[in-house]
Each structure stands twice: as structure tokens, then as C-alpha cells.
Structure 1
Amino acid sequence: MTRRERWIRKVLAAATFVAAAIPLAILIFMALLARPLFTTLPLLDLLTGSWDPIRGHFGILPMMTASLTLAFTSLAVAFPVSLGCAGLIYGLAPWTVAVPLRRLVQIMTGFPTVIYGFVGVFVLVPAVRHVFEAGSGRCLLSALIPLSLMITPTMTLFFCDAFAAVPRETLLAAAASGADAVQRFVWVVIPSAGKGLVAGTVIAFGRALGDTLIALMLAGNAAQIPSSLLDSARTLTAHIALVIAADFRSLEFAFIFLCGMVLYALTACAALYAWKIRTGIGKDAA
């Protein structure tokens, strides 16, 4: 091994160490700043209680419930749309439709989140208020629609890659047995790309869970456990944005780092699960 190769290996090893150490350092940093909460209140009360700082209640459950509800419902809306778009791009539509559709999806991935939020404020909120006659119109439903639209391009591109990884021999065998394009897609392509579909869905879930502006601008920010999509709610990310200006010595300020730790754990689990699935896909392909 030459001297240059040894230096390259050392640099790469150092970069790997830094890349692994930074996330761990962030988690430790959040745990240290949230320590006043852990020394003041029981952990069970923090995880299952309500948010009412005036009465000394610092529970994370309302925000965590709202975050998970918004993320899962947005996935439920975005998944069939993304699957259909990916199918059209993959080959169900003629190339005159598939190519422009793929370009549009790629462009949509670069749209700033605040654009979806502004459109929701001026279009969706008045519409929901008028149609359902439910409060101000700022509720989970108003946040759900633009959030679904935001994660759809990400899921679509992941699904397209998963479909493209299906072995050509499998498709030729299906075609030789007399299956048309739709039958091949439904009965061959989708089952064969199952792991890729799950990985794309998990990544989109992490993005929906970590979004701030859409939830902050449209969900209503009421610190309560929602009972329906027409209820106002406050997500973990929105809560951090709302409370971050509090006195840094207060328990309210320490609480936002508990929210950060919960978000960190949820998104890390989603990312690790998606990585595990994609690694399994690579092994299967090999």
C-alpha cells in the first residue's frame, strides 16, 4: 500500500467517525438540555401527560399523537397517488405522457415547503371552513392535503427506482405467458418491488414526521389530542417552533429538547428500517 493510499484511508476513516459522532453528539446535547425536566418530573408523566405549563403539566402526548396522526394519514393519501404516478412513469402510459410526468415529479421535489403552506392558508383553510363549518378551518385536514402533496414526489421517485430494479427476465416470462402491461404491473412488478415500496414509504414517513411549516401554518396549533381530522392540533415540530423563544432557563425551553429527542428517535428508527430494507434489496439483487 502506497503512502497516498494510506492517507486516503485515514481521511475516509476520519470522515466516517465524524459522520457517526455528530448525530450521537446531537442526541447527547438534547439530553443534557432536557435534563431539568427529567430531574423535576417523572418520565411517565412527560410521555403520557398533557401540555399545560401554567399548571405544571409538561406532557408530550398531545404533540406526539398529532405528529403521528398527520404523518400516517398523509401517507394513506399519498401512497395510492404515488403508486399510480410511478406506474404511469414506469410504462403504463405512453412515453409522451411518462417523460413529462417524471420531469414534473422531479421538479416538485424541489418546491419549498412554505409554498405548500401559503397555498393551504389562502385556498384550503377557507374551503375547509366553508364546507365543514368547523372553527377557523385550521385543522389536521387542512395540513393533511398539502403534506400529502409534498411527500408524493419523494415516494413516486422511490417507487420508480423499485420498479426499475425488477429483473427483466421476470417481465419477459410474464409477457410470454400472455399477461398484458397492466397484468404484469399488478401481478409481477408490484410484488417483486415490495421491499422498495416499503423503503420509499418509510422515507416519506420520516419526511412527513419532520415537516414544520405546513403543520405550523395549517394545523391550528392547539395542544390537544385530536379526535378527528377537523380538530386543531399541534405537532412536535410546530411545538418546537412555537416555544423556542421561551426563557432558556424555564422548563418550557427544556421541553423542546424532549420533543427533539422523540423526533430524533422516531426518524432514526424510520431511516434505519429503510436502510435495512434497501440493504436487503441489494443482497437479493446480488
Structure 2
Amino acid sequence: MTRRERLTRKILGAATLCAAALPLSILIFMVVLARPLFSSFSVTDLLTGTWEPLQGRYGILPMMTASLLLALASLAVAFPVSLGCAGLIFGLAPPVVTVPLRRLVQLMTGFPTVVYGFVGVFVLVPAVRDLFQAGSGRCLLSALVPLSLMITPTMTLFFSDAFAAVPRPILLAATASGADPVQRFVWVVIPSARRGLAAGMVLSFGRAVGDTLIALMLAGNAARMPSGFLESSRTLTAHVALVIAADFQSLEFASIFVCGMVLYVLTSCAALCAWRMRAAAERYSG
């Protein structure tokens, strides 16, 4: 091994070590800054209590519930749309439709989140307020629609890649059996790509639960347990954005690091699950 190769290996090894140590350092940083809360309250109290700082309660359960409810509902709305778009891109539509559709989906993945938020503020919020006659219109429903639209392109591209990874002999066997394109897609392609589909859903869930601006601009930011989609609620990310300007010595400020730790765990688990599912799908297709 030459001197240049040894140097390159050392540089790459150091970069890998730094990349692995950085997420752990971030977690330790959040634990240290959340220590004032951990010294005054138990983890159970923080994760299952309500947010009433004037009464000395700093539980983040309402924000956790709103985040999970909004992310799961957005995933449920975006899934059939993404599956249909991915099916058209895979070959259910003629090439004159497939190519522009894929380009449009790729373009939508680059739209800033604030664009969806502004459209929601000026279009969805008045529509929800006038249609349901409930509150100001800033509620989970107003945030649900743009959040679903935001994760749809990402999920569509993941689904398209999963469909493209289906072994060609399986498709040829289905065609030889007399299956038309729709039957082949429903009964062969989707079951064969289930691991890739699951990975795309998990990663899209991580993106939905980690979004800040849409929830901050549209969900209403009321720190209470959501009782329905027409209720104003505050997500974990919106809570961080709202409280970060508070007194650095207050317990309210320490609560944002508890929220950060919960988000860290959720997104890390989502990424790990997606990685394992995608690896299993690649082994299956190989």
C-alpha cells in the first residue's frame, strides 16, 4: 500500500468517526441542557404530563400527541396518492405522461416548506374557517393538507425506485401468464416491492414528524391535547420554535431539549427501520 493510499484511508476513517460521533454528541448536548428539568421532574412526568408552566407542569404529552397524530394522518392521506403516481411512473401511463410526471415530482421535492405554509395561510385557513365554522381555521386539518402534499413527492420517488427494483423475470412471468398491466402491478409489483414501500413510508413519516414551518404556521399552536382535527394544537417542532426565544435559564427553555430528544429518537428509529427494510429489499431483488 502506497503512502498516498494510507493517508487516504486515515482521512476517510477520521471522517467516518466524526460522522458517527456527531449525532451522539448532539444527543449528549441535549441531555445536558435538559438537565434542569430532569433534576426537578421524572421522565414519566415529562412524557405523560400536560404543559402548564404557570402551575409548574412542563409535560410534553400534548405536543407529542399532536406531532404523531399529524404525521400519521398526513402519511395516510399521502400514501394512496403516492402509490398511484408511482404506478403511473412505473408504466401504467404512456411515456408521454410518465416522463413529465416524474419531472414534476422531482421538482416538487425541492419546494421550500414555507411555500406550502403560505399557501395554507391564505387559502386553507379561510376555507376551513368558513366551511366548518369552528375557530380561526388554524388547526390540525389546515396543517394536514399541505403536510401531506409536502411528503407525497418524496414517497412517490421511493415507491418508484421500489417498483423499478422488482426482478424482471417476475414481471415477464406475470406477462406470460396473461396478466394485463394493471393486474401485474396490483398482484405482482406491489407485493414484490412491499419492503421498499415500507421503507419509503417510514422515511416520509420521519420527514413529516420533523417538519416545523407548516405546523407552526397552520396548526394553531395551542399547547393542549388535541381532541379532533378542527382543534388548534402544537407539535414538538413548533414548540421548539416558539420557546427558543425564552429566558435561557427558565425551565420552559429546558423543555425544548426534551422535545429535541424525543424527535431525535423518533427520526433515528425511522431512519434505522427504513435502512433495514431497504437492505432487505435489495437482498431480495438481488
| TM-score, normalised relative to structure 2 | 0.99
* Distance in 2, Cα, partners of 1:281 & 1:93: 25
Moved more, 51-60 or 3-12: 3-12
* Distance in 1, Cα, partners of 2:250 & 2:35: 12
Structure 2 match to 1:46: 46
| 1:69-118 C-alpha deviation (Å, 9 max, x unpaired) | 00000000000000000000110001111111100000000000000000
* Distance in 2, Cα, partners of 1:208 & 1:124: 19
| 1:27-49 C-alpha deviation (Å, 9 max, x unpaired) | 00000000000001122111100
1:283 Cα deviation (Å)? 2.1
* Distance in 1, Cα, partners of 2:232 & 2:9: 53
1:145 Cα deviation (Å)? 0.1
Do the aligned residues in 1 keep the contact of 2:74 with 2:144 (CA within 8 Å)? yes
* Distance in 2, Cα, partners of 1:284 & 1:220: 45
Greater than 6 Å deviation, 4+ residue runs:
none
1:114-193 aligned within 5 A: 114-193=114-193
1:22 Cα deviation (Å)? 0.4
The residue type paired with residue 20 of structure 2 is A
| 1:17-69 C-alpha deviation (Å, 9 max, x unpaired) | 00000000000000000000000112211110000101100001000000000
| 1:235-254 C-alpha deviation (Å, 9 max, x unpaired) | 00000000000111110011
* Distance in 1, Cα, partners of 2:143 & 2:20: 34
| 1:94-143 C-alpha deviation (Å, 9 max, x unpaired) | 11111111000000000000000000000000000011111000000000
Q: Give the number of equivalent residue pairs.
A: 286
SS at match of 2:231: coil
| 1:151-200 C-alpha deviation (Å, 9 max, x unpaired) | 00000000000000001110000000000000000000000000000000
Do the aligned residues in 1 keep the contact of 2:166 with 2:285 (CA within 8 Å)? no
The residue type paired with residue 45 of structure 2 is D
Do the aligned residues in 1 keep the contact of 2:193 with 2:281 (CA within 8 Å)? no
Structure 1 match to 2:255: 255
1:222 Cα deviation (Å)? 0.4
SS at match of 2:240: helix
* Distance in 1, Cα, partners of 2:281 & 2:12: 26
SS at match of 1:222: coil
1:285 Cα deviation (Å)? 2.8
1:223 Cα deviation (Å)? 0.5
* Distance in 2, Cα, partners of 1:180 & 1:264: 45
* Distance in 1, Cα, partners of 2:226 & 2:34: 26
* Distance in 1, Cα, partners of 2:253 & 2:137: 29
* Distance in 2, Cα, partners of 1:43 & 1:91: 51
1:281 Cα deviation (Å)? 1.7
Tell me the C-alpha RMSD between the 2 structures.
0.6
1:4 Cα deviation (Å)? 1.4
* Distance in 2, Cα, partners of 1:285 & 1:140: 39
1:106 aligns with 2:101: no
Segments of structure 2 that go 5 or more residues without pairing to the other structure are none
Segments of structure 1 that go 5 or more residues without pairing to the other structure are none
1:16-35 aligned within 5 A: 16-35=16-35
SS at match of 2:20: helix
| TM-score, normalised relative to structure 1 | 0.99
The residue type paired with residue 175 of structure 2 is A
